[in-house]
Structure 1
Amino acid sequence: MKLLRCADIQFALDDSPRFDLASVLAGGDGLDTRPRILAYAATLAEPAELSVPQLAALAGMAAGEAVDEAVLAGRHGADTIMALLERGLLVPAVAKEGAPVPGGDGGAVDWWPPARLAHLAGAWRGVDIARRRDDGKTTSTSERVAEFGPAPTHDYAVPGAGSMIELPPPPAGPLDDLLQRRRTCRNFDTRAELPMSAFSAMLRRVWGVIGTRELAPGAVAVKKSSPAGGGLHALEAFVLVRRVQGLAPGLYHYRAMHHAVEPLRKLTGEEAAAMAYRFLAGQDWFLDAPVLVVMVARFDRLFWKYRRHAKAWRVLHLEAGHLSQTMYLSAAELGLGAFVTAAINDAEIDEELRLPPMRQGTLAIVGFGPATGEARNIELEPVVPSPATRRLGR
């Protein structure tokens, strides 16, 4: 049988301390601080620790190079090759007639290797923030101050700079009021449905396509209300509907060119709530939003132009930020609460949406809907006016 190395694989030398029972039993501090080799791949639920012989076996194979199992066993030992097969880091060159090679789909996408490592290493699966809080495994702000000292100042001045030169009051306009009304909502109305008119407005304003321009045959740029790298707009909107008037609970994909939604999966109200909880990694203060929008990056589209580019992955996160701010302002204008979060179980979401690994991936979730007047969860409102706000009156 011929074997291939997993196409999307990155290695890291990890120096983080780990609990070591043997150290405790020997009278030590219970920490193992020896560096270890970790392998990250789209096919792995968690990083795999490798031995030096296992690393050598993988490093000796080029991506796409099929090598006979017996040859590899002769070079590196049968146990080494079997361990890599069991972990999915080596895969059969042909799993089944006509079936794709596991872990090979992303190989044609030209990732910048450090970005690929960050994307794989930063993925979450099974994280439950509310449970960690309830189990006493999180720290409060006052506890962090007590342990680490005060946070770096919120009123930053460049050391050695000259005296401040105050600027005159800027002209007032409707945008100023809208910007001041922008806020993150942690208290959504648990019973309210989002009107279809507001749902339609939010999707169109934030993710809808205004127009296109053909750059060359086979290459089309897109204009939306927010900017995007190369005009490619490689972020898709997958919508988890819980309470929208006239629309059944379920998963949908927003067809931005047509201002329409494609049904992907029907859900009961209970199923939609459970899915939202998993997607949001247990952030129960966002759970009651009637609509969640999962922003999914199409790496293959952006990296088609920016191949192995050191800035391309960063640009996708900037685009998610642009869309989020547009979403916030639209929500403020409609009188809705809104939020954005990247603390999500992105690996689980990718699987739920059946995204092709390393070609597409979840970056963030936004949500919006009617807020409640009840302060069940802490919000950053009201605030103490800044010196500039007091001086300018707004």
Structure 2
Amino acid sequence: MSKTIGQEFMVKTHYGNLEPSGQKQQLPQPPLEAFYSGTERIIDLPMPEDIPAINIDFMAAVELRTSVRDYQHMPISLLELSFLLWCTQGVKQVLGDKATLRTVPSAGARHAFETYLLINHVEGLKPGLYRFLALEHKLAEVNMTDRIAEEITEACLGQKFVRTSAVTFIWAADIARMTWRYGERGYRYIHLDAGHVCQNLYLSAQVIGCGACAIAAFDDEVLNQVVGIDGEENFVVYVGTVGKR
């Protein structure tokens, strides 16, 4: 009996079927962050050390975690957005040009995600598509056209809460960062990493009185195109919305 695509994927990413990784071939390591030209408008975020200490009942946070799709039509603050970004991709330490240690686990500390943000209702920010520059803890404008929210919503199969959220997170993998060390098996790990990131979004959103909802239903080709990535070396893996409960 022939194997399904999923079964083929699992078999072909067994260790015994892997070619030597880029690291084993002594190829150059990909950069820790995707290139940006510097011509983009860069927005400073409140730094993590400026975020007030938050005491939470951890058991309650875990027990009450749920997906929330209906949000109040009110903005979140720039400080709250900074907090969410710190909790989901915050850089705690940069180990030269070799690795970063962040607030979420990643296979081999590869941290292959770039975080794009559809900003709908955030105080002090014009609506549009931004990218989080994790190493600098800043935002860069990507696409500020009037229809960008509608285009991303359509790419997410018309799920309206993508547009009615305060902010929609879009995690795109720079797959070379992962496969450089793990070869084709890195495609498995990138999906595990996505789960770590999104769970932190759920928990941190709850701390600031927000709800979150993960989205895996989207048109890959369309969403990659709208975000402005090639869909092969860089591709969207996961989406998550956040807004005030």
TM-score (norm 1): 0.47
1:117-156, Cα deviation, whole Å (9 max, x unpaired)? xxxxxxxxxxxxxxxxxxxxxxxxxxxxxxxxxxxxxxxx
Alpha-carbon RMSD across the aligned residues, in angstroms, is: 2.1
Distance 1:253 1:260 in 2: 9
Matched residue SS, 1:210 = strand
Q: In the TM superposition, what whole-angstrom CA distance separates every residue of 1:3-52 from its partner, at most 9, and x where no partner exists?
A: xxxxxxxxx999xxxxxxxxxxxxxxxxxxxxxxxxxxxxxxxxxxxxxx
The aligned counterpart of 1:99 is none
Question: Which residue of the partner structure matches residue 174 of structure 1?
Answer: 57
Q: Distance in 2 between matches of 1:364 and 1:13?
A: 26
Matched, 1:213 2:95: yes
Match among 249, 252, 255 for residue 133 of structure 2: 255
Report if the CA contact (8 A) 2:68-2:212 is conserved: yes
TM-score by length of 2: 0.74
Which residue does the alignment assign to 1:44? none
Max Rg structure:
1
What is the rounded CA distance, in whole Å, between the counterparts of 1:370 and 1:284 in structure 2? 16
Q: Give the whole-Å Cα distance in 1 for the aligned partners of 2:126 and 2:155.
A: 19
Matched, 1:235 2:117: no
Name the aligned partner's letter for residue 211 of structure 2: G
Q: Does the CA-based 8 Å contact 1:241-1:252 persist in structure 2?
A: yes
Residue 301 of structure 1 is matched in structure 2 by 177
The correspondence for 2:204, drawn from 330, 335, 339, is 330
**Alignment-derived partner of residue 291 in structure 1:** 167
Letter in 1 for 2:179: F
The one-letter amino acid paired with 1:279 is A
Does the alignment pair 1:201 with 2:83?
Answer: yes
User: In the alignment, which residue of structure 2 is the partner of 1:380?
Assistant: none
Q: Deviations over 1:249-290 (max 9, x none)?
A: 11111000111000112133xx24412321321122444112
- 1:351 aligns to what? 225
Cα 1:263/1:286, change in 2 over 3 Å: closer
CA contact (8 A) 1:187 1:286 kept: no
- Residue 144 (structure 2) pairs with residue 266 (structure 1): yes
Counterpart-to-counterpart distance in 2, 1:296 and 1:357: 9
Which amino acid in the other structure matches residue 222 of structure 1?
T
Q: Kindly tell me: are residues 243 and 285 of structure 1, through their superposed partners in 2, closer, same or farther at Cα, counting changes over 3 Å?
A: closer
Partner of 2:195: 321
Residue 283 of structure 1 aligns with an amino acid whose one-letter code is Q
User: Any stretches of 5+ residues in structure 2 without a counterpart?
Assistant: 5-20, 23-55
Measure the CA separation in 1 of the matches of 2:67 and 2:197.
15
Q: Which has the higher contact order (CA 8 A, sep 6+)?
A: 2
Task: Kindly state the Cα deviation for residue 352 of structure 1 after the two structures are TM-superposed.
Answer: 1.7
* Distance in 1, Cα, partners of 2:237 & 2:3: 25
For the residue of structure 1 that corresponds to 2:183, the secondary structure is: coil
Shift, 1:303, TM fit: 0.9
Q: CA deviation at 1:353?
A: 2.3
The CA deviation string for residues 197-235 of structure 1, in whole angstroms up to 9 with x for no partner, is 211111122112111224xxxx51111111101101001
CA distance, structure 1, for counterparts of residue 100 and residue 110 of structure 2: 6
Alignment check: 8 A CA contact 1:188 1:286 kept: no
**Aligned pairs (5 A) from 1:34-183:** 174-183=57-66
Tell me the matched-pair count: 195
Judge conservation of contact 1:297–1:361 (CA < 8 Å) in 2: yes
Distance 2:91 2:99 in 1: 10
Residues 56-102 of structure 1, C-alpha deviation per residue, up to 9 Å, x if partnerless?
xxxxxxxxxxxxxxxxxxxxxxxxxxxxxxxxxxxxxxxxxxxxxxx
Determine helix, strand or coil for the equivalent of 1:244.
coil
Unmatched runs of 5 consecutive residues or more in structure 1: 1-11, 15-108, 111-172, 372-394
Runs of 4+ in 1 over 3 A off after TM superposition: none
User: Separation in 1 of the partners of 2:77 and 2:145?
Assistant: 19
Q: Paired residue for 1:388?
A: none
**Percent identity between the aligned chains?**
25
> Do the aligned partners of 1:242 and 1:272 also contact (CA within 8 Å) in 2?
no
